[in-house]
Amino acid sequence: MTDGPLSPVRADAWLWSVRMFKTRSAATDACRAGKIKIAGESVKPSVNVVPGTRISISRPGHVVILEVVHTHAKRVGAPVAQRAYRDLSPEQIKPRDVGLPMRERGAGRPTKRERRQLELLRGYTKNE
């Protein structure tokens, strides 16, 4: 296997090298948990990625979709890392853009009823 920007690299190593995860073990854990998908299928950490591969990363509240441009097995600096992929993620809607109700400053804590209504609007569910 040659070592260059077009050679195959393990998925967990690539995700760590382009700074999608703070540690390689965190990238490995995300792969094992099914948070990393290639072509809609969950992948093992050892799956090789090559330029042109589309990777989707499930994050809380949104999905990040990346297309591999260059492969790196070692961690690289932020400017180099940003050139190693193309971000194809859809625009994220921020809660402030949706028009969620805001409480007046100094109005005190929300009542239980108000809190439940806010949670329904924000899409939070109860853990049962």
What pLDDT, in 10s, does the model give residues 6-20? 889 999 999 999 999
- Per-residue model confidence as pLDDT tens digits over 55-104: 999 988 789 999 999 999 899 999 999 999 999 988 876 656 666 667 78
Per-residue pLDDT at 90 = 86
Model pLDDT for residues 108-128, shown as the tens digit of each residue: 888 899 888 888 877 776 654
For the chain, domain boundaries? 9-92
62 near 93, Cβ under 8 Å?
A: no
Q: Can you tell me the distance from the alpha carbon of 38 to that of 11, in angstroms, rounded to the nearest whole number?
A: 10
Contact 27, 43 (CB under 8 A): no
Q: How far apart are CA 102 and CA 122, in angstroms?
A: 12
DSSP state of 54: E
Question: What's the fold here for domain 9-92?
Answer: 3.10.290
- pLDDT of 62 reads 85
